[in-house]
């Protein structure tokens, strides 16, 4: 899996309000592999951005999926603010 897709999954999980295990179940990812992606990004082996939101947590049950022409799919909580979405898309 390419680095951008890994990074997109980690960022999507961070904004989802879900546990890592639940996110992996919903996205059909191997939990241990996903945890290693998170560790790699935290250890500086990849770059990531921290998004701050003053809004209340969004219900993790409703999602918006963006399908890019290159086959990458990004999943976001419904109601994600424009600033956060733009920051994610600029990665």
CA distance 56 to 84: 14
pLDDT score at 91: 64
pTM: 0.48
- Would you say 17 and 26 are in contact if contact means Cβ atoms under 8 Å apart? no
Residue with tokens 């290693």: 36
Q: Return the SS3 of 24.
A: helix
pLDDT < 50: residue spans in the chain: none
pLDDT score at 45: 55
Task: State which residues form the domain around 37.
Answer: 3-89
Domain total in the chain: 1
pLDDT score at 55: 54
12: nearest Cα among 45, 48, 55, 56: 48
Residue with tokens 């770059």: 47
């Amino acid at each position: 899996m390419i680095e951008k897709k890994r990074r997109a999954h980690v960022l999507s999980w961070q904004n989802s309000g879900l546990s890592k295990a639940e996110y992996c179940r919903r996205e059909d990812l191997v939990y241990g592999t996903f945890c290693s992606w998170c560790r790699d990004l935290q250890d500086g082996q990849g770059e990531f951005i921290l998004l701050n939101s003053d809004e209340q947590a969004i219900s993790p049950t409703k999602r918006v999926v963006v399908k890019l022409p290159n086959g990458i799919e990004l999943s976001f909580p419904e109601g994600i603010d424009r600033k956060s979405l733009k920051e994610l898309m600029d990665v």
